[in-house]
Chains A and B, each alone.
Chain A
Amino acid sequence: MRKSLDTIIETIIFICGMLSIVFVVLIFGFLFKEGFAFFKDFGVSKFITGQFWYPSSEPASFGILSLILGSILVTVGACLIAVPIGIMTALFISEIAPKGVRDVLKSLVELMAAIPSIVIGFVGMVTVVPLVKNIFNLSTGLTAFAGAIMLAFMAIPTIVTISEDAIRSVPWQYREGALALGATKWQTIRRIVLKAAMPGIIAAIMLGIGRVIGETMAVMMITGNAAHIPHSIFDPVRTMTATIAAEMGETVRGGMHYRSLFAIGLVLFIITFIVNFTADLFLGKKKNR
């Protein structure tokens, strides 16, 4: 009786484990099937380097360079804001803040991660967008810059939590050793703690980037969605994710436009895969030491 119960439970666990693998494989399969079908008809290099995204004109043009640049611009902008703030917040929480402040701050940062992206997009639209418009005297505030600010808000919790873990897991003995040699607190942090925590911090940044680059809702609401090559961060841009979300509903199933959106998904997947893989590389390196 006990034996057969064991077998049943083991089988259930096995099936559940297999199912998640099957789902992932199916998603990949679907993405690759539609994406490659599109590449075969249209050509990869024309797709990636083409400047014009006119999916429904006659003849249609499926160049996603402007979308890739849009995604990159917003992501890089968000990182420039989120990385310094995130790392310094992590340092403050783990090294400087007194215990009471530390606990409150940590919970707040974690709460920040729980804000749905649609809310961030909405708040950004009514606050940051007009602010950007007025401060920089633009015709519209719906720009890559506004998008970058709001996406930075979404990346900061990831960067703070993971780099704070990395900083806190630096053995106390390193700090003690440095202080005992006459180093000041800041010298200890800069020369020893940050150095020792660096693999974890880089992983944190990578995961933050991963979060930003895949984000859809907030950017769709804030960045203006103009599919043209941006000339500065104050231009409206359209990202790859926003394109898929906005256009999927209007395509004919199985048609060229439909497949082109899968192809965008595939490109996006390759980018996030590389980012996550790099993050894993650094996290793994940390563990092996």
Chain B
Amino acid sequence: MSIIEIKNFNLYYFEFHALKNINISIEEKRITSMIGPSGCGKSTLLKSINRINDTIEGARTNGGINISNQNIYADNVDVDFLRRNVGMVFQRPNPFPISIYENVAFGLKVNRIALDRNVIVETVEKSLRAVLLWDDIKDKLNKSALTLTLEQQQRLCIARVIAVAPRIILLDEPCSSLDPVATQRIEELMIKLKDNYTIVIVTHNMQQAARVSHDTAFMLLGELIEFDNTEKIFTNPTKKETEDYVTGRFG
């Protein structure tokens, strides 16, 4: 059952045609990765799924993206509610310059998911446990989130997303500012999270895509070249461009 269905989707930045007629169906509770050389539009496509692209000047779209059979680009869509359902983790860890606790509680408060303090405290703990951060920081919840290491910050950003209970989590090159050990641990976390969430990850690291994802989309110059099972993309791709890219001939 596909949860995200992208149909004839186009995106322009002013005159620049950044995404060209994309069609893709993403399955529930699987990890889907998007790969391709820099500037191919993979991050742009990811950022269209929670409409965070709306904040960029000159961006306009046509075609649609359906999430659970509802077009998120329809006029009557509540964008704030959409973003709560489709969480996002960014390339550089971006914890807010407030306490660790407040970072996780933020989404609960702004969305009025929980107003009772005890419920918030509980949810914060549960979310931090889910990203395996709780034991490291349970004694310094009131410290600024900026005091954490980069890996911890990225975990915190994932916890912050989990706290508002989204169905989909989008990850935009979540490991690009982390060292290999931290990267491995975040990857392990993703695999654990896929039991409960649908995960879409953009990565410039092909090995990462091969390691963690079930399905892989290969993009080039704003077009979707090929979308298939990850194993098939990496071992027996249909298109010549895909093969050239995954074998390292360009990119």
**Interface residue ranges, A against B (CB under 8 Å):** 99, 171, 173-184, 187, 191-192, 195-196, 289
Q: Which residues of A contact B92 (CB under 8 A)?
A: 173
With A179-B52, A179-B83, A181-B87 known as contacts, the answer to whether A174 contacts B110 (CB < 8 A) is: no
Q: Which residues of B contact A177 (CB under 8 A)?
A: 90, 94-96, 157, 160
Given contacts A177-B94, A177-B157, A289-B146, 9 further A-B contacts (CB under 8 A): A173-B90, A178-B96, A179-B52, A179-B83, A181-B87, A182-B111, A183-B107, A191-B106, A289-B97
The A interface is mostly helix, strand or loop, or mixed, namely helix
CB-based contact A184/B94 at 8 Å: no
Partner of B55 from A176, A191, A195, A289 at Cβ < 8 Å:
A176
Complex alpha-carbon distance, A178 and B98, angstroms: 12
Interface residues in B26-73 (C-beta closer than 8 Å to A): 50, 52, 55, 57
Q: B19 an interface residue at 8 Å Cβ cutoff?
A: no
**Interface residue ranges, B against A (CB under 8 Å):** 50, 52, 55, 57, 80-81, 83-84, 87-88, 90, 92, 94-98, 106-107, 109-111, 146, 157, 160-161, 164
Q: Which residues of A contact B80 (CB under 8 A)?
A: 182-184
Q: Which residues of A contact B160 (CB under 8 A)?
A: 177, 181
Considering only CB atoms, which chain A residue lies closest to B163 in the complex?
Answer: A181
Q: Which residues of A contact B55 (CB under 8 A)?
A: 175-176, 179
CB-based contact B87/A180 at 8 Å: yes
Q: Which residues of B contact A192 (CB under 8 A)?
A: 96, 98, 106
Partner of A181 from B57, B83, B97, B146 at Cβ < 8 Å:
B83
Complex alpha-carbon distance, A175 and B109, angstroms: 16
Complex alpha-carbon distance, A195 and B80, angstroms: 21
With A176-B52, A191-B106 known as contacts, the answer to whether A181 contacts B164 (CB < 8 A) is: yes
